[in-house]
């Protein structure tokens, strides 16, 4: 009886492995991952050999966009159109549901190709923007670097801190820019908070950043803009509405991060002694100066900044340029073009993305410990 049961369990396990393995391979062949893996084994990486890499210089950066789903159509392409230092030359889509660039709302001179390979192999493409599902980001980043292309990719880009650091080491000799876009670092009010925080730190002052909001992947990483050191995380409170974390760095930065379920809440305060910068409703950044208050930045999009994402999801509309600017999409793409043109390291590079993933893991663990 025992032997029969263990034989039956063994057969069931093998069947599960075959089924799972089979369906994973069918998916991998279909989305091009299998081909990329085979090439990686047969052809070891030779970073940056396929095209001449730009080391600074004038003129727009020629871009290939990989994936044209919801994010690319409603955010990235509308934002790219506002960045004159980027020029879209090719778009790779997985399925050929739409045969013409015009069908996707693209100019006629943009080449529409099938899959990522055709985009990566073009010699007129200097940089790629990856807008595929997250599971493909790391593989596509490696493929792009192998072919000498700079990479822009939205978060998360990588899945764990350890994998990110391995990728960073692998990419080290390539002399190519990789930007993982933690867009709030480029969003004007948060960019100002970070710059002011760095100035205060340079004066030797302790800094406290108190942030409340729902866009956690972008918001908790703000602490990484103020310190390059390791972070200690503690979950202080949990409730149905979210959680409160304290993040501290060895070199004197303290961040209180109030993760909130409601997308209508967004506040940030940066303090150092008597000095204070406040961002209310994500829409107005002000500074307390002695007895008075000075406005440093105000959202001029006319509508409620924090209401737009919900409407835009519901209607699948395209947000206006004031929104794309305020939320960091346009400045993020512009900073990528600058990094490529000037040959400089982007603010949010692979190492930064690896630190963000490690911080995320620590946040999740501290949440478990608090429960
Ligand atoms: N910053 C933010 O707040 C934010 C928010 C949402 C998303 N994002 C980013 O945007 C990325 C995409 O999200 P999404 O919502 O746009 O997903 P999506 O709607 O599923 O679009 C992904 C697109 O990639 C295409 N694709 C898949 N494999 C490909 C390949 N090998 N070559 C060329 N195209 C390929 C898919 O084609 P098919 O349709 O033919 O399968 C699909 O159209 C996410 O991973 C994330 O990085 C950022």
Residues 6+ apart with CB under 8 A from 6: none
Q: Is 92 in the pocket of ligand 1 (CB under 6 A)?
A: yes
The pLDDT profile of the chain, 371 residues, written as one tens digit per residue, is: 666 777 777 667 666 655 665 665 665 555 555 655 565 555 544 444 444 455 555 689 999 999 999 899 999 999 999 999 999 999 999 876 666 888 888 999 999 999 999 999 999 999 999 999 999 999 999 999 999 999 999 987 788 999 999 999 999 988 999 999 899 999 999 999 999 999 999 999 999 999 999 988 889 999 999 999 889 999 999 988 899 999 999 888 999 999 998 888 999 999 999 999 999 888 999 999 888 999 999 999 887 888 776 667 666 678 889 999 999 999 999 999 999 999 999 989 999 999 999 999 999 999 988 87
Any ligand 1 atom below 6 A from CB of 71: yes
Q: Is 133 in the pocket of ligand 1 (CB under 6 A)?
A: yes
Instruction: Give the pLDDT confidence score for residue 85 in this predicted structure.
Output: 97
Q: Where are the domains of the chain?
A: 61-183, 187-320
Structure tokens at 91: 């778009």
Homologous superfamily of domain range 61-183: NAD(P)-binding Rossmann-like Domain (3.40.50.720)
pLDDT attached to residue 306: 86
pTM of the model: 0.86
Q: What CA–CA distance (Å, rounded) separates 141 from 164? A: 11
For ligand 1, what atom is nearest to the CA of residue 215?
Answer: 3
How many angstroms separate the alpha carbon of residue 133 from the centre of ligand 1?
A: 4
Query: Which residue's alpha carbon is at the smallest distance from atom 48 of ligand 1?
Result: 154
- The CB of 112 under 6 Å from ligand 1? The reply is no
187-320, CATH topology level? Dihydrodipicolinate Reductase; domain 2 (3.30.360)
């Amino acid at each position: 009886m025992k032997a029969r049961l263990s034989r039956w369990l063994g057969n069931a396990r093998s069947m599960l492995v075959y089924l799972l393995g089979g369906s994973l391979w069918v998916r991998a062949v279909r989305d091009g991952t299998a081909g990329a893996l085979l090439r990686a084994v047969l052809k070891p990486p030779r970073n940056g050999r396929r095209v001449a890499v730009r080391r600074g210089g004038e003129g727009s950066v020629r871009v290939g966009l990989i994936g044209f789903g919801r994010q690319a159509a409603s955010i990235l392409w509308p934002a790219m159109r506002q960045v004159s230092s980027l020029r879209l030359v090719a778009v790779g889509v997985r399925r050929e549901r739409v045969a013409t660039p015009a069908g996707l709302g693209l100019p006629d001179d943009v080449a529409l190709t099938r899959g990522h390979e055709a985009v990566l192999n073009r010699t007129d493409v200097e940089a790629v923007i990856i807008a595929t599902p997250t599971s493909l980001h790391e593989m596509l980043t490696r493929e792009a670097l192998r072919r000498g292309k700079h990479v822009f990719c939205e978060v998360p880009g990588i899945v764990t801190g350890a994998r990110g650091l391995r990728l960073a080491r692998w990419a080290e000799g390539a002399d190519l820019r990789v930007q993982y876009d933690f867009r709030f670092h480029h969003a004007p009010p948060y960019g100002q908070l970070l710059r002011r925080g760095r100035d205060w730190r340079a004066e030797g002052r302790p800094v406290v950043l108190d942030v409340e909001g729902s866009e956690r992947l972008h918001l908790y990483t703000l602490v990484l803009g103020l310190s390059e050191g390791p972070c200690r995380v503690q979950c202080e409170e949990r409730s149905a509405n979210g959680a409160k974390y304290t993040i501290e760095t060895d070199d004197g930065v303290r961040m209180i991060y109030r993760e909130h379920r409601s997308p209508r809440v967004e506040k940030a305060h940066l303090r150092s002694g008597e000095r204070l910068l406040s961002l209310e409703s994500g829409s107005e950044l002000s500074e307390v100066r002695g007895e008075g208050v000075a406005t440093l930045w105000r959202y001029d999009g006319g509508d409620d900044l924090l209401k737009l994402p919900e409407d835009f999801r519901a209607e699948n509309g395209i947000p206006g340029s004031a929104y794309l600017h305020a939320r960091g999409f346009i400045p993020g793409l512009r900073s990528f073009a600058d990094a490529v043109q000037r040959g400089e390291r982007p603010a949010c590079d692979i190492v930064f993305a690896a630190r963000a993933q490690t911080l995320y893991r620590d946040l999740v663990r501290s949440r478990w410990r608090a429960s």
